[in-house]
Amino acid sequence: MVDVDRVLAALTLQEKAGLTSGADFWHTKAVERLELPAVMVADGPHGLRKQVAEGGSAELGESVPATCFPTAAALGSTWDPELLQRVGAALGRETRANGVSVLLGPGVNIKRTPLCGRNFEYVSEDPLVAGALGAALVAGVQSEGVGTSLKHFAANNQETDRMRVSADVDERTLREIYLPAFERIVTQAKPWTVMCSYNRINGTYASQHPWLLTQVLRDEWGFDGVVVSDWGAAHDRVAALTAGLDLQMPGVGTRPDLDVVSAVIDGQLDEQVLDGAVRRVLQLVDRAQPAVADPGTADLDAHHELAREAAVAGSVLLRNERVGGAPLLPLEADAARGAVVVGEFARTPRYQGAGSSQVHATRVDDALTALRAATGAELPFAPGFSLAGDDEHDEVLRTDAVAAARDASVVLVFLGLPAADESEGYDRPRWGLPDNQVRTLAAIAQVNPKIVVVLSNGSAVNVSPWRELAPAILETWLSGQAGGSAVAEVLLGHRSPEGRLTETIPHRLVDTPAFGSFPGEGGHVRYGEGVLVGYRWYDARDLEVAYPFGHGLTYTTFAYEEVAAQVHGEGAAATVDVSVRVTNTGTRDGAEVVQVYVGDPEASVQRPVRELRAFRKVWLAPGESQVVSLTLTARDLSYWHPDLRRWVVEGGTFVVEVGASSRDLRGSVEVEVVGEPIWPPLTAMSTVAEWLADPAGGPVLRAALAAGGVTELAAHWSAELAQVPLRVAVDFGMAAGFGPDQVNALVRDVTAAVPTA
Ligand code: BGC
């Protein structure tokens, strides 16, 4: 174990500076004379990527075999925190067994645009889903005695120019959309480390952002772990330490450490600031020791099974039309044996994305082999298209696929994005599937309408041009090393698809919230859509979408009854108990994700029509019924007040909606909530109306006017003038005997009269 106080007291200034940067790519520094060991960190997030060659290189290189769990896009779609906790624990066991102390994940950045190249590593367009599932994953990993690195803090929502671009975002939008997932995970699951992002936020690098790293993360949320830089995100170590960054990764030689030493000697950096960072690094090393001493083992067979369970749970059945009387899926045994499989992805699965998260999987299941094994039939296969896209070759492949599909009982068509479309480091080059795939689908549809499309992609793709050609569509995302066998289980009905969309699938790219401002220009990307991200945008604009947030079909049906909501308390202490009875009204087992949305139709700021505030996944047998009860907090009713700079509950009528997706709402209740007083500080530039409406300012202004002989307010302060700042109204001579001095006196009086919030 590390005696943190003893080591800290014994360290030289040079050693202290050294401990706040890495020894190499993956290790912290050891101090041998004090018997302080180094610890190792490794990617992350959905599998361990521990490079075989120690230290050094930025190359992905060869890494130790590890279970490649479904990517965050698929894990998020499970809407199942308990399952994510188990996946996290398995990740933790593999991390520990390999002598690694911190797994670099999860990533919980919000999916602002479907084109973000790294969306497959992120959970959702919604902060509650990202936060609740991220917290479960962190809790699971850390239950095994190793740490996590919650990333990328913050506003890293695109890959284009990610190392320099300034995300220009107003505070309310940060507080309501881009920060809450981090906040929830930090406060509830206490990750050992948080990784700051590469980008700038409103002009300042995240690694040097005192508001972000100290005021919000540590002072408000109580984070006591290590803030680590993304790899190469620290530029000015003195500014970074001052702002709250503890550990620069990777190590880049001694120059930045010497800068720190000089800054302390020059008095530019308070040594106590350095000591604080060193203390946190020492605490991290200390925390890691029990697991390092006792690495244990990981059961890779069991983890493969768990990866399959998660892939099933995260696959989203987008569409399942009736063909000949019954929904096309699940396949009956005879239909399954007469199936033809088309599409390269059935044989060559695309199960993870490119970049730092790429895992050397312990094994990989492909759907073709799994389907053949499960049906006991030698199902014909045709690749249907080439992954590289070669017109001439594709024509031949297409013709072969059409011939094979013509007499099939059902055609299982595996489509998706080529690997080069989705990677860390750049954004997606296109929004749709490659043309060669769509052409093959269309050609098959002309000879056989019984088509099931199985999709492999890490983020929403354009389904609108072709979805009518396929009565059934199963979105499997990038579903990890057991995705192939998982999809066979789902298609054959051995398991039900359980996933729900954590991101909207819009019809057109031009409909998306960031269209026009993404990816920015001149080094800036302006988040002009504000809080209207994802479904919040499509609902505000009343736009048709292909599949809404929260959507996902099962092999059964559910009824919602007895939706009720009851308010307790008021203002910042208000809570709302919501309940609903859910019944499985079909003939098969199934999982329903009950979603609770809240809207505040009359608010003094623009608010989304509805926002997801609670959810619960329940598993019900046919005929089984369960009352689901969820409690909303005052925060769930609040918005971030831009002037008061705090959360406020504005009183009035709130709409609580309960449903199976953001556009499949099955019940709605209006509740009255008593709000808290919201009175932004009055200034000389507050309008006359604001003065008059204010409980402290109104009487003071009226009294001052009366003292000057102005008693008939209506005559002097018309509706139009009410919108004029008090100072300007006075300059206009609207109140005889009232000048700037009187206004200043009023501001003084009222500041004294109003207790500050
Ligand atoms: C990525 C991080 C990753 C780190 C270490 C960076 O380029 O953005 O997500 O953890 O590299 O590989």
Q: Given this model, what pLDDT does residue 545 score?
A: 98
CA 262 – ligand 1 centroid, Å: 29
pLDDT tens figures, 215-265:
999 999 999 999 999 999 999 999 999 999 999 999 999 999 999 999 999
Distance CA 278, CA 27 (A): 15
Residue of 48, 50, 231, 424 to test ligand 1 pocket, by largest number of atoms within 8 Å of CB: 231
- Atom 11 (ligand 1) nearest CA: 231
CA 55 – ligand 1 centroid, Å: 15
Residue 236: CB atoms within 10 Å = 15
Q: Where is pLDDT greater, at 510 or 753? A: 510
State how beta strands 41-43 and 102-104 pair: parallel
Cα distances from 693 to residues 127, 338, 707, 747, in angstroms, run 35, 74, 19, 15
Mean pLDDT computed over 576-588: 98
pLDDT tens figures, 396-439:
999 999 999 999 999 999 999 999 999 999 999 999 999 999 99
CA 355 – ligand 1 centroid, Å: 8
Q: How confident is the model at residue 62 (pLDDT cuts 50, 70, 90)?
A: confident
* b/e sequence 642-658, b meaning 16+ C-beta within 10 Å: eeeeebbbbbbebbbbb
Cα distances from 540 to residues 530, 543, 647, 686, in angstroms, run 12, 8, 22, 30
Nearest to 119 by CA among 474, 512, 488, 400: 512
- Atom 8 (ligand 1) nearest CA: 230
Q: What is the dihedral of CA 663, 80, 152, 113, to 10 degrees?
A: -20
CA 479 – ligand 1 centroid, Å: 21
Nearest atom of ligand 1 to the alpha carbon of 152: 9
Mean pLDDT computed over 118-134: 98
- Atom 4 (ligand 1) nearest CA: 231
Q: How confident is the model at residue 55 (pLDDT cuts 50, 70, 90)?
A: low
Position 56 pLDDT exceeds 50: no
pLDDT tens figures, 412-422:
999 999 999 99
Position 59 pLDDT exceeds 80: no
Position 174 pLDDT exceeds 90: yes
**Which of 46-60, 146-160, 493-507, 564-578 has the least mean pLDDT?**
46-60
Q: Are 684 and 747 in contact (CB under 8 A)?
A: yes
- Atom 12 (ligand 1) nearest CA: 356
Cα–Cα–Cα angle for 467, 159, 114, rounded to 5 degrees: 20
Type of residue found at 568: H
Type of residue found at 380: P
- Atom 5 (ligand 1) nearest CA: 231
CA 230 – ligand 1 centroid, Å: 6
Q: Given this model, what pLDDT does residue 54 score?
A: 58
CA 207 – ligand 1 centroid, Å: 14
CA 43 – ligand 1 centroid, Å: 7
DSSP single-letter state for residue 332: P
Q: Given this model, what pLDDT does residue 488 score?
A: 98
- Atom 6 (ligand 1) nearest CA: 231
Token pair recorded at residue 260? 């720190």
CA 356 – ligand 1 centroid, Å: 6
Residue of 24, 60, 193, 424 to test ligand 1 pocket, by largest number of atoms within 8 Å of CB: 424
Distance CA 735, CA 708 (A): 8
pLDDT tens figures, 514-570:
999 999 999 999 999 999 999 999 999 999 999 999 999 999 999 999 999 999 999
pLDDT tens figures, 16-46:
999 999 999 999 999 999 999 999 999 999 9
Q: Which of 80, 126, 161, 230 is catalytic?
A: 230
Q: How many CA atoms lie within 13 A of 119 on its CB side?
A: 25
- Atom 3 (ligand 1) nearest CA: 356
Mean pLDDT computed over 126-150: 98
To the nearest whole percent, how much of the chain has pLDDT over 70?
Answer: 97
Q: How confident is the model at residue 313 (pLDDT cuts 50, 70, 90)?
A: very high
Q: Given this model, what pLDDT does residue 58 score?
A: 41
CA 276 – ligand 1 centroid, Å: 25
CA 339 – ligand 1 centroid, Å: 42
Nearest atom of ligand 1 to the alpha carbon of 43: 10
What lies within 8 Å, CB to CB, of 416 at 6+ separation is: 345, 350, 433, 437, 455, 456, 457, 461
Nearest atom of ligand 1 to the alpha carbon of 424: 8
- Atom 2 (ligand 1) nearest CA: 230
CA 438 – ligand 1 centroid, Å: 34
Nearest to 743 by CA among 710, 711, 697: 697
Position 681 pLDDT exceeds 90: no
Distance CA 505, CA 654 (A): 27
To the nearest whole percent, how much of the chain has pLDDT over 90?
Answer: 88
Nearest atom of ligand 1 to the alpha carbon of 151: 9
Mean pLDDT computed over 493-499: 96
Mean pLDDT computed over 178-189: 98
CA 273 – ligand 1 centroid, Å: 26
Q: Given this model, what pLDDT does residue 701 score?
A: 86
Annotation says 427 is catalytic? no
CA 742 – ligand 1 centroid, Å: 59
Residue 699: CB atoms within 10 Å = 13
Mean pLDDT for the chain overall: 95
Q: Given this model, what pLDDT does residue 756 score?
A: 44
Q: How confident is the model at residue 472 (pLDDT cuts 50, 70, 90)?
A: very high
Residue of 27, 40, 43 to test ligand 1 pocket, by largest number of atoms within 8 Å of CB: 43
Nearest atom of ligand 1 to the alpha carbon of 149: 10
Mean pLDDT computed over 572-583: 98
Q: Are 429 and 421 in contact (CB under 8 A)?
A: yes
Distance CA 568, CA 306 (A): 41
- Atom 9 (ligand 1) nearest CA: 356
pLDDT tens figures, 697-743:
988 888 887 877 766 655 556 677 778 898 988 888 776 677 888 88
pLDDT tens figures, 624-639:
999 999 999 999 999 9
Position 53 pLDDT exceeds 90: no
Nearest to 436 by CA among 455, 450, 416: 416
Nearest atom of ligand 1 to the alpha carbon of 104: 10
Pocket around ligand 1 at a 6 A CB cut-off? 43-44, 104, 151, 230-231, 356
Q: Given this model, what pLDDT does residue 706 score?
A: 80
Q: Where is pLDDT greater, at 659 or 754? A: 659
